[in-house]
Structures are given as C-alpha cells and as structure tokens.
C-alpha cells in the first residue's frame, strides 16, 4: 500500500536548492573554531576546553531535542507537526559533525593533560579547599568505577553511536517514503520511536552526568538529566520556530503553515518553559531546604561574584519572561513575535549552560572565575564555531529532500491543521 502525494503548494513538491547561507555558516563555524583555538594561547587549555564544552553541549542539546521531537512525533502518530518534521530530520544531520567536534576533548584527555576538562581524570589534581588530591579522595575512590577515562570514552562513543544510528534510521525511512509512498516506512519509524525514546532518554541523561555534572564530581542531583532534557526540548522547539520563520519569510512555507501551527508549537514552548521552571526550582529547593554542605556547595559556587546575577538572569529570563510572554494567545500566533521569543530562549539556554559549566574554571583560591571574563568569550566563539558547522550540516541536508514529507499518511491532515 502506498500513500499518494497530497495536493500541496508547488514549493513543497520540489526539492529546495542549497541556500547561499550554507557556505556562510560554514565560514562562521570555521572562524569560531579558529578564534577558540586562538584562545588556547591566551587563556590556557583548561579554560578554553571547558568553554568548548559549552558550545558542544549547547548544539548537542539542540540535536538531541530535534531527535526527541521526531521520535515523539512518531510514537504518538502525531498530526500537526508533520509539516515541520522534515526540517527536524535535516537538523539530525549534525550528529556526526558533533561527534567529530567532540573528538578533540577526548584526544586531549588521552594524550595531553588528563584534567583538561574533567578534574577527576587526573589523580594529582588538587580538590580544593582541603588540599587533597583526587587520588587521595575517598569520594572519588567510591565513584571511580564510573568516573574513569575508559568509561568516559566508551560512554561518549556509545552516546554518539546511539544518536547517529537513530537519526540515520529516521532520516532514511522518511526520505525513502517521499519516493515510493510506502506505508512500511511509517511503521519502521514507529518501531524506531518505540525503542529509540528510552535509548535517547538514557543516553542524554548519562551524557549530562558525564560531561557536565561530573565537573563537580562531589555533587549529586537526580534532577540533572531532566534539566538537560528540558534544555534539549526547549532548544529544539525554539530552533523549530526559527526554522519555520526563516522558511516562511523566504516563501517556502507559504500556504503550508497556518496560524494553528504557530499556536501549537507556541503552546509546547510554554509547556516546556513551565517544565524548566519546575525542575530548576525543585533542584534548588530540595538542596536549599535540606541545607547539607555536601550539596549546597554547588550553589554556593554559583552565588560567588557575578554568578549570582547570572542565576537571577536565569530565574527571570529563562523562566518568568518567556512564561509571561507565551501565556498570550496573540504572541503565539504572530510569527515575528514568536520568533523573537524563540531567539531569546536560545540565548538563555546558552547562559544556562555557561552557568552550569563555566564555574568549573577556578581561580587560584578555588573560587569560580567570573562570568564576565574571557571565558565567556571562548564559550561564545565555541558556540558560534560548533553552531556554524551544525547549521551548515542542516543546510547541506536541506537540499537533499523535499520541503515536507509529501507522502506521509498524516501530511494531508497537517496541511489543514485546525484546532
């Protein structure tokens, strides 16, 4: 059985050309990477490598978020998001490049300074303020089965393998269906979604623990994977809106997107804004209420110097402002306004990742180096560098398939989506 192609605007039926933007974004990416490399000479390898982790985890979050959206789309047999799904599938093309860009961190750890990013990889690393080294630290000894170089390497390879494999299956099925309209591709995607969701959930949780939480390996929080997950989802929705707006103003999405598509994605953005507020508050509140030094030190580090202000920016900018704006129906159905809210959310996700990662760069007294320092610049160049490559990967994939999955069984309903 095959699904016939639907009647859709002409733009949807043809394969779009590679936008000139592709070379530009690759240039931005390479420039960002070059600037970050320059930072090695100025701020030293530890600070720059840690800042590189900000750029990597930001764009990995975007790609994981897109992967989750496609998986969730299939597992729910969703309708309205079919017109957007193809663009998310193009976004998944970034995974192999993200793996490649992660490689320098692993190589530097294997062959260079062990603690270039993660302190627990070097037994001689001094765990302040006690003056004790990692090697003499009982907490490390207890966690060493999990926190060691081999485990980190195997886990990181496994994470990217899972993400690349799931993406390849989803992309292949979706693109093949454009040609033959065979329903078996939809069924295959449903199966991928069934086992892919738990795999993606576990891998992103462990990635957040290994890459980010372990920067302060004494600390623990069961909310941490959920925190990263929320940023993945919020990032993917925000990026989805940015892509929708780009294709809509360019004319590709004219006659495809309706007010209700904007409204639907806006509502999901609101839901995950509330969810971020919920989990970020829960994590803080439980630690604040228990008031145990073994947990509170992580927040104390983030109240030191100008980091306190950054925390306030997150409370009001990552939660309250988008929450109040997205409550409004009018803002959700006006593409230009929704796109601005989406860009703001992307900016605060970057700040959120800085707030979680950069305090790992300490000064001589063991206090976090300030937020407004060169480290922020390297985090920004890293994010631009990794981002340029990811956007280039997206745009390269963009011109290999039709704008929307034209023979998906749900595309007809999605084109006339109405609440």
What minimum distance in Å lies between the beta carbon of 288 and another protein? 6
* Using rule CB under 8 A, residue 110 touches another protein: no
* Binding residues among 276-295 for another protein as defined by CB under 8 A: 281, 284-285, 288-289, 291
Taking the least distance from each CB to another protein, the nearer of 288 and 308 is 288
CA separation for the pair 115, 124 (Å, rounded): 9
Decide whether 136 or 223 has the Cβ nearer to another protein: 223
Residues 395-414 that bind another protein (CB under 8 A): none
Q: Nearest approach, Cβ of 418 to another protein (angstroms)?
A: 4
Q: Which residues pair with 368 in a beta bridge?
A: 362
- Asked if 396 contacts 85 with a C-beta cutoff of 8 angstroms, the reply is no
Q: Which is nearer to another protein, 76 or 288 (CB)?
A: 288
The single residue among 34, 158, 320, 327 that binds another protein, judged by CB under 8 A, is 327
Which of 296/373 has CB closer to another protein? 296
Position among 76, 110, 308, 329 found at the interface with another protein (CB under 8 A): 329
Report in angstroms how near the CB of residue 271 gets to another protein at its nearest: 14
Tokens of 276: 């971020």
In the complex with another protein, the residue whose CB is nearer, 80 or 102, is 80
Tokens of 402: 């039709």
Q: Which two tokens stand for residue 42?
A: 């100025």
Closest Cα partner for 136 from 126, 148, 147? 126
Residue partners of 72: CB distance under 8 A and separation at least 6: 78, 193, 197
CB of 244 to another protein, least distance (A): 21
Is position 308 an interface residue for another protein (rule: CB under 8 A)? Answer: no
**In sequence order, what are the residues at sequence separation of 6 or more whose Cβ sits closer than 8 angstroms to the Cβ of residue 359?**
301, 302, 304, 307, 368
418 part of the interface to another protein, by CB under 8 A: yes
CA 158 to chain centre: 17
365: Cβ contacts below 8 Å, ≥ 6 apart: 128
- Compute the least distance from the CB of residue 67 to another protein, in Å: 31
Between 363 and 402, how does the x/- string for binding to another protein read (CB under 8 A)? ----------------------------------------
Half-sphere exposure of 251 (CA within 13 A, CB side): 3
Question: Looking at beta carbons only, is 157 or 327 nearer to another protein?
Answer: 327
Q: How many residues bind another protein (CB under 8 A)?
A: 10
173 Cβ contact list (under 8 Å, min separation 6): 185, 186, 188, 189, 192
E-only strand ranges, 88-197: 126-127, 132-133
165 vs 299, beta carbon nearer another protein: 299
Write out the residues near another protein by the rule CB under 8 A. 281, 284-285, 288-289, 291, 327, 329, 416, 418
């Amino acid at each position: 059985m095959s699904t016939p192609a639907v009647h859709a605007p002409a733009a949807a039926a043809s394969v779009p050309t590679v936008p000139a933007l592709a070379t530009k974004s690759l240039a931005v990416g390479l420039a960002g990477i070059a600037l970050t490399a320059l930072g090695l000479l100025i701020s030293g390898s530890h600070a720059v490598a840690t800042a590189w982790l900000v750029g990597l985890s930001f764009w990995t979050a975007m790609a994981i978020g897109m992967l989750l959206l496609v998986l969730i789309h299939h597992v729910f047999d969703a309708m309205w998001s079919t017109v957007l799904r193809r663009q998310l599938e193009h976004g998944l093309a970034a995974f192999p490049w993200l793996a490649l860009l992660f490689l320098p961190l692993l190589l530097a750890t294997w062959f260079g300074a062990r603690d270039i990013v993660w302190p627990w990889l070097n037994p001689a690393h001094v765990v302040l303020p006690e003056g004790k080294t990692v090697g003499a630290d009982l907490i490390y000894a207890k966690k060493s089965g999990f926190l060691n170089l081999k485990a980190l390497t195997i886990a990181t390879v496994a994470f990217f393998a899972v993400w690349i494999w799931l993406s390849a299956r989803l992309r292949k099925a979706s693109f093949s269906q454009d040609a033959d309209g065979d329903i078996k591709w939809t069924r295959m995607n449903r199966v991928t979604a069934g086992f892919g969701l738990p795999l993606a959930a576990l891998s992103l949780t462990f990635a957040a623990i290994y890459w980010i939480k372990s920067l302060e390996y004494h600390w623990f929080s069961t909310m941490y994977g959920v925190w990263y997950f929320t940023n993945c989802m919020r990032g993917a929705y925000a990026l989805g809106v940015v892509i929708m707006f780009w294709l809509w103003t360019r004319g590709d999405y004219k006659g495809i997107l309706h007010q209700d598509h904007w409204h639907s994605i806006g509502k999901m953005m609101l839901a995950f804004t509330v969810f971020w507020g919920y989990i970020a508050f829960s994590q803080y509140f439980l630690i604040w209420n228990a008031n145990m030094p073994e947990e509170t030190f992580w927040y104390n580090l983030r109240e030191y110097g100008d980091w306190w202000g950054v925390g306030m920016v997150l409370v009001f900018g990552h939660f309250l402002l988008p929450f109040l704006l997205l409550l409004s129906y009018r803002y959700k159905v006006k593409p230009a306004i929704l796109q601005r809210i989406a860009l703001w959310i992307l900016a605060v996700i970057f700040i959120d990742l800085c707030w979680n990662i950069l305090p790992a760069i300490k000064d001589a007294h063991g206090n976090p180096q300030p937020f407004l320092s060169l480290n922020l610049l390297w985090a920004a160049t890293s994010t631009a560098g990794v981002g340029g490559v990811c956007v280039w990967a997206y745009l390269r994939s963009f011109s290999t398939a039709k704008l929307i999955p034209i023979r998906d069984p749900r595309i007809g309903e999605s084109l006339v989506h109405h609440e």
